[in-house]
């Protein structure tokens, strides 16, 4: 019973976001295309995983948003012959932190949407610590992972940032097995926290008009 109680996963997170000029139904009306995510040094190979996981969560929690997943965005860019322009777009961004308006418009025209979203995996670590041992034999480990996920949404019509948010999350789990807290697991949680902050229309409440006889 004691081990079972300790094995309950613990998640701690902090989410910050700013809505600059994104309306409640803008993403539903004009669409959102994900462009290539950026990551911290040493995590470059995780860019595809970040995009796939975020897209899956967005499909599930915000089906009203018309989204172009990363493979759709890249395919549209390639078909339009914009591969060199797309490369320069990120080279400029790495130097200045700015996506040029002309580049944003080219990508938006190719994908048929107005808004472009870029994810940033700003940090990810995972590990384990011994928690319970009997006669020198470790029987329970604490598995943990930390992640920092950032999302920025750009408007291709004027080159402005219309929304941005970041979620910092730590997930801990006491277990007797060797399973680790995976990147996908914490990515799903951090993505959901960010998506929950995106503007959306309030549900319309139906009112019944009654007349007194």
Q: Do the domain assignments include residue 84? A: yes
Contact between 119 and 34 (Cβ < 8 Å): yes
Predicted pLDDT at 175: 59
Predicted pLDDT at 46: 83
The count of structural domains within the chain is 1
Q: Do the domain assignments include residue 91? A: yes
Predicted pLDDT at 209: 42
At residue 178, the 3 state secondary structure works out as: coil
Q: Do the domain assignments include residue 213? A: no
Q: How far is residue 73's CA from residue 86's CA, in Å, rounded to a whole number?
A: 11
Q: How far is residue 108's CA from residue 151's CA, in Å, rounded to a whole number?
A: 18
Which among 21, 66, 32, 23 has a CA at the least distance from the CA of 160?
A: 21
Report the CATH number at residue 47.
3.40.50.10610
Predicted pLDDT at 179: 63
Predicted pLDDT at 8: 67
Strand partners, 38: 120
Give the global pTM.
0.82
Q: Do the domain assignments include residue 202? A: no
**pLDDT tens for the chain, residues 1 to 213:** 444 444 567 878 799 999 999 999 999 999 999 999 998 766 778 889 999 999 999 999 999 999 999 999 999 999 999 999 999 999 999 999 999 999 999 999 999 999 999 999 987 776 665 554 444 445 456 678 888 999 999 999 999 999 999 999 987 766 545 566 688 888 999 999 999 999 987 654 333 343 433
Q: Do the domain assignments include residue 36? A: yes
Q: What angle do CA 183, 184, 190 make, to 5 degrees?
A: 90
Q: How far apart are the first and last CA of the chain?
A: 64
102 lies in which domain range? 2-196
Q: Do the domain assignments include residue 201? A: no
Q: Do the domain assignments include residue 205? A: no
DSSP string, 112-123: T-SEEEEEEEEE
Cβ neighbours around 23 below 10 Å, total:
13
Contact between 195 and 62 (Cβ < 8 Å): yes
Q: Do the domain assignments include residue 212? A: no
Predicted pLDDT at 180: 67
Contact between 113 and 30 (Cβ < 8 Å): yes
Predicted pLDDT at 136: 45
């Amino acid at each position: 019973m004691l081990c079972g109680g300790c094995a309950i996963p613990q998640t701690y997170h902090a989410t910050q976001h700013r809505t600059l000029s994104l309306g409640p139904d803008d993403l539903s009306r004009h669409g959102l295309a994900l462009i290539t995510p950026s990551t911290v040094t040493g995590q470059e190979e995780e860019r595809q995983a970040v995009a796939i996981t975020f897209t899956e969560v967005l499909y599930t929690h915000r089906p009203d948003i018309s989204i172009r997943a990363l493979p759709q965005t890249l395919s549209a860019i390639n078909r339009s012959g914009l591969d060199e322009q797309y490369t320069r777009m990120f080279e400029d961004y790495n130097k200045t932190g700015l996506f040029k308006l002309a580049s944003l418009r080219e990508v938006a025209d190719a994908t048929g949407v107005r808004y472009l979203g870029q994810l940033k995996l700003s940090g990810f670590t995972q590990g384990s610590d011994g928690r319970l041992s009997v006669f020198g034999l470790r029987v329970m480990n604490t598995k943990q992972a930390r992640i920092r996920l950032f999302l920025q949404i750009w408007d291709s019509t004027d080159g402005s940032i219309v929304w941005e948010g970041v979620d910092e999350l730590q997930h801990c789990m006491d277990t007797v097995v060797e399973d680790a807290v995976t990147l996908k697991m914490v990515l799903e949680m951090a993505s959901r926290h960010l998506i929950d902050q995106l503007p959306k229309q309030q549900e319309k409440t139906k009112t019944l008009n009654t007349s007194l006889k």
